[in-house]
Amino acid sequence: MIKNNFTYNSIKANKINIDFFFNSESECRCLIILVHGFKGFKDWGFFPFTAEYLVKNGFNVVSFNFSHNGVGKSLTEFDELEKFEKNTISLELEELNEIINISKDGYFNNFKPDYIGLLGHSRGASVSILAASINNFVNSLCCWAPVSKFDRYTERQKSIWKEVGYFEVLNTRTNQLMRMSVDLLNDIELNKDEKLSIEKAVKKLNIPFLIIHGDQDLTVPVRESELIYQWSNKNQTKFEIIESTGHTFDIVHPFSGSNKKFDRVLNLTVDFFINSLNCNKK
C-alpha cells in the first residue's frame, strides 16, 4: 500500500489535509472516500486501518480532515479550536462536495475513478447522505452509525447558546472544552427543513445504500438508523445491526487493534462496495 499526502485549498481558501491510499499494482477504477464525524479526524482510531483494509481488497481510498474539525498540523490533536468553533454543517457539505469533484477530475495522482463510494461515520455519515443526494458522481453510499438529524439540542441549550453566542462541549478523551459558535446553530435552524434535511436527502437517494449500527450505541441510538432506513428506498438499501457494540464498534484511539465486531463491519462494508460498484479489482 502507498499513501500520498495532499494539502488542498478549498474554494473558500480553507486548507484541507488529505491522504490518498492505493496499490500501484491494482487495476481497480473505484475510489472510496472516508468521511469522519463530529470530534473526529482522518487519523482517529479505525480510519487508517479501514483505509488499509479497503486497499488490500483492491480499492483506492481518500481520507481527509474537514478544514474546521479542530485538528491542525499535529494531525492527531485538537490544536485549532478557533476553527472548530466556526465550523458548520453547510461548510462540511461544501467541502465534501469539493473533495468528490476534484477526485473525479483526477486531483490525486491523475487517477480518475470510474466509480466513487462514500463511507462516513456518525455526523460524517449524514453529511455523506446529503452529498450523495446532490452529487451525481457518487455511485454508492455506506453509513456507520449515522445521525437522523443535526438539531440535537434542547430548547434550553439553544436559548443559552443564542444568548452567550457559543456552546461548549467536553471532549472526554482529551478533557478539552470545545466551543461552537452560534453560527452552527443558526445554520442548522435555517436549513434543517431543506438543505440539511437528512430525511429529504435519503428520500432522494437512488444509489445502493448500506447502513450499519451498533445496538448498544449510546452516542447515536440505533433507532436513528432505523428511522433513516424507514425513509429509504428498500430496493436499494440494506440495514445491518451489530450486536453488543457501541458507537465506534469497540475501537479506541489510539488504535490498539481490531475485534470480531469491527471485523464484521469491515467485511459487510467491503462486500457492499464490491457488489455496488462495478470495480475490476486485480
The per-residue pLDDT for 282 is: 42
Q: Is position 237 within any domain? A: yes
| Number of domain units in the chain | 1
Residue span of the structural domain in which 67 resides: 2-151+193-276
Q: What is the pTM of this model?
A: 0.98
Distance, CA of 280 to CA of 29 (rounded, Å): 7
Any domain includes 267: yes
Mean pLDDT of 115-122: 98
Domain harbouring 251, CATH code: 3.40.50.1820
The arithmetic mean of pLDDT across residues 209-222, rounded, is 98
In a domain, 219, yes or no: yes
Place of cell 470510474: 114
Q: How far is CA 103 from CA 10, 19, 23, 125, 252, in A?
A: 13, 12, 17, 19, 29
Dist CA 162 CA 174 (whole Å): 26
Q: Does any domain span residue 226? A: yes
Decide if 213 is inside a domain: yes
Confidence tier at 279 by pLDDT (50, 70, 90)? confident
At 178, give phi and psi (nearest 5°). -110, 120
Residue pair 100/119 in contact by the 8 Å Cβ criterion: no
Is there a domain that residue 281 lies in?
A: no
**Distance from C-alpha of 217 to C-alpha of 211, rounded to nearest angstrom:** 14
Phi, psi of 250, rounded to the nearest 5 degrees: 65, 20
172: CB partners within 8 A, 6+ apart: none
Our measurement of the distance from residue 37's CA atom to the centroid of its chain's CA atoms, rounded to an integer in Å, reads 5
Cα torsion 47, 268, 27, 1 to 10°: value is 30
Judge whether 34 lies within some domain: yes
Split at pLDDT 50, 70, 90, the class of 32 is very high
Q: Is 162 part of a structural domain of the chain? A: no
Residues 129-157: pLDDT tens digits? 999 999 999 999 999 999 999 999 999 99
Give mean pLDDT, residues 147-176.
Answer: 96
* Dihedral angle of Cα 29, 1, 124, 195, to the nearest 10 degrees: -30
The closest alpha carbon to 217, from 205, 227, 225, 209, belongs to 225
